[in-house]
A and B are shown apart, each in its own frame.
Chain A
Amino acid sequence: MKMLINVPESVVPDALRGMALAHPELTVDVEKRLVVRRDAPVAGKVALVSGGGSGHEPLHGGFVGPGMLDAACPGEIFTSPVPDQMVSAAAAVDSGEGVLFVVKNYTGDVLNFDMAAELAEDEGVRVAKVLVQDDVAVTDSTFTAGRRGTGATLFVEKIAGALAAKGAGLERVEAVARQVADSSRSFGVALSACTTPSKGTPTFDLPAGELELGIGIHGEPGRERRAMMTSGEIADFAVDAVLKDLHPDGPVLALVNGMGGTPLLELYGFCAEVHRVLGERRVPVARTLVGNYVTSLDMAGASVTLCRVDEELLRLWDAPVRTPGLCWGV
C-alpha cells in the first residue's frame, strides 16, 4: 500500500509538526505529544482533555479550540496515549476549575486515563471522567470489554465544550457530558479494511463484493460479513441497529460519519438514505453533520451516530466553536 509518509515510525510526530505549522492558534508539543489551546488555561473555565490513539483524525487534536477541547493527547496509531501525556495536558489547561477527561471505552484508554487521573489529582488538579460507549455492534456484557466509544465522542466534546465555555462548573459539565454519552448510539460499516503504516497491508481481508457490518474504528473486523449492499440497504440496517437500542421519543442529532476513505459525495448520498429511514421510523432530525470526523485511517465505509437531544443540548450544539475540525458560529 502506497502512503504519503517518510517512515512508519515518524507518522505521528510528522503530522504533529504539520499541525503546529498550519494552526498557530494551537500549541503543539511534538516531543510530549500534546495539542493545547494557545490561550490555555482559560481563567474561570472548566477544561476538557481527551485523547486516544492516532489514526482517527480530526478526532481529537482537530477538536481543540474555543468551544470544544482545551487539550488532546495523541497516542501512537490505534494505541492509547500514556498517562504522562494526560497529566501534562491537565496541568497545562487547568485554571483551577477542574478538568474533564473524555475517554472512549477501550481497555487501553480507560487504564491510561485512570492512571493519569490519579496522578493529576496527586498534583492538585480536580479531575472528572466521562466514558463514551456508543457502539451498538458490541454487546455490552461481562463477556466483552463493553461497547466501544466512536462517533458519540464528537457530540460529547462539542456539547460539553460549549457548556464549559459558558462558565458551568465541573460537576455540571460532567453531568451533561454523561447525558450526551448515554443518549447516543452508533453503528458502522466497512467497505474496505484500513492499512496501518507499521503493517503496510490491510488489517483484514475483505473480498470485493462483500462488506463488514458492525466495525469499530481500529481496523478490527466487524461482527458479520455480507454480500455488498446499496447505500439505502446499509442505511436501513445501520439506522435500525441504532434505533433498536436508542428508542428516541423526540428529536435527534445525526452524525453521518465517513471512516476516512469514502468520498463526501457518497457520504451525502448515504445521509439522504439515513434521513429517509429516520423519516419512515418517525424520528425527527434536529441537526445533521456529514463528513469524515471519527475515522479509521484509510478505511472505506461510514457510521451513523444518533443522539437524543432537548432544547438545552441543541443550544449547546449550535453554540460557537472554532477548531481545525469543527468551526461555526464565529
Chain B
Amino acid sequence: MSEELTDDEGRELDAAFFVRWLTAAAEAVDREADQLTELDSPIGDADHGGNMRRGFFAVRDALGSEPPGTPGAVLMLAGRTLVSTVGGASGPLYGTLLRRTGKALGDAGQVSEKELAGALRTGVDAVAQLAGASEGDKTMLDALLPAVGALSEGHGLAAASTAAERGAEATTPLQARKGRASYLGERSIGHQDPGATSSALLLAALAQTAALGVSGTEAENGTGAESGEAGRTANGGA
C-alpha cells in the first residue's frame, strides 16, 4: 500500500491492539450470545450465539497462549481458528473476513487506521465473494459494507461502528435472499439479521478498543499493566 498520507494524527496499531480487540470481541459475543440466538430463532436455527461464543473463546485462547508479533499474523491466526471451531456458514465467513484482512495487512509491525480500513475492505470483499451476497440480502454484509464505507470516507472507527449498528438494524424490514433465512421468503421480513448483528458487535469492540488508547487501559495511561506488553511490540510507536 503506497499511501501519501503521513498519518501524523493516525494511531499506530500494533499486534497487542489487535489481541485486545479480539479479546473484547469475545467478551461482547459472550455477553450478547443469548440475544444472537434469540434473533436466530425465528429466521434461522437458534444457534448463532453459541457458535460465535465457541469460536471467539477459541480465538481468545489461541491468542492468549502464543500471541503472534504482527497485526496481520494476529488476524490470520484468529481467522484460521474461527474456521476450525465455528462451523456453519459463520465459521468460513468470519474466518475469511479476519484471514483476508490480516493477509492484506502484510507483515508490518504496526499499521495505521487508514491501512486497517483498506485491509478491512479487502476482507469484506472476500466475504461478499465467498457468500455470493451483496448489500440488501439481509446478511452480515449489511453491517460490514456500511462500516468499511464509513472508514474509506475517513470517518474513523467510531463512525464505522455506528454505521454497522445502523446497517444491522436496517436489515429488519428486508426479505432475506441468502443463507438459511432465505428459505422463509417473505416471512423473513420483520426480523433483524443475527449475522449483521454479530458483525456490528465486532465493529463496536474495535471502536471501543481504539477509544481506550494505545495502552488499552486509559487514553493517557502509559504505565498500566497492559502497556508493558503493548510497548514491547509497539517498538517505539510513541
* Contacts from A to B (Cβ < 8 Å): 53, 75-84, 106-108, 111-112, 115, 137-139, 142-145, 148, 196, 198-199, 203-204, 216, 218-221, 223
Contacts and interface: CB of A to CB of B under 8 A. Distances in A.
Contacts of A80: 87-89, 91
A219 B86 contact: no
Contact of B45 (A78, A115, A144, A223): A78
- Tell me if A's interface is mostly helix, strand, loop or mixed: loop
Interface in B78-106: 83-93
A221 B187 contact: yes
Contacts of A198: 37, 46-47, 50
Given A196-B46, A220-B44, 7 more contacts: A82-B86, A107-B178, A115-B92, A137-B183, A218-B180, A219-B45, A220-B184
| 4 nearest A-B pairs in the assembled complex, by CB-CB distance | A108-B88, A111-B92, A108-B89, A107-B89
A220 B180 contact: yes
Contacts of A137: 183
A111 B131 CA distance: 8
B53 to A, nearest CB: 10
Contact of A76 (B37, B44, B87, B180): B87
Instruction: Classify chain B's interface size.
Output: 20 to 34
Interface in B23-66: 37, 41-47, 50-51, 54
Contacts of A76: 47, 50-51, 54, 87-88
B166 interface: no
B231 to A, nearest CB: 36
B32 to A, nearest CB: 15
Contact of A218 (B45, B89, B90): B45
A84 B37 CA distance: 25
Contacts of A218: 45, 180
5 contacts: A76-B51, A82-B84, A82-B85, A108-B88, A198-B47
Given A76-B47, A80-B88, A219-B46, A144 B183 contact: yes
Given A111-B130, A148-B183, A82 B50 contact: no
A83 B89 contact: no
B36 to A, nearest CB: 11
A199 B42 CA distance: 12
A73 B89 CA distance: 16
A175 to B, nearest CB: 26
Given A83-B84, A196-B47, A145 B41 contact: no
B177 interface: yes
Given A218-B45, A221-B187, A108 B84 contact: no
B190 interface: no
Nearest to B48: A79
Most-contacted residue by chain A among B50, B88, B90, B184 (CB, 10 A): B88
A203 B41 contact: yes
Contact of A108 (B54, B90, B182): B90
Interface string B6-32: 000000000000000000000000000
B222 interface: no
Contacts of A219: 45-46
Contact of A112 (B51, B92, B178): B92
Interface string B172-214: 0000011110111101000000000000000000000000000
Nearest to A107: B89
Given A108-B89, A144-B183, A115 B46 contact: no
A111 B47 contact: no
A82 B87 contact: yes
Contacts of A143: 177, 182
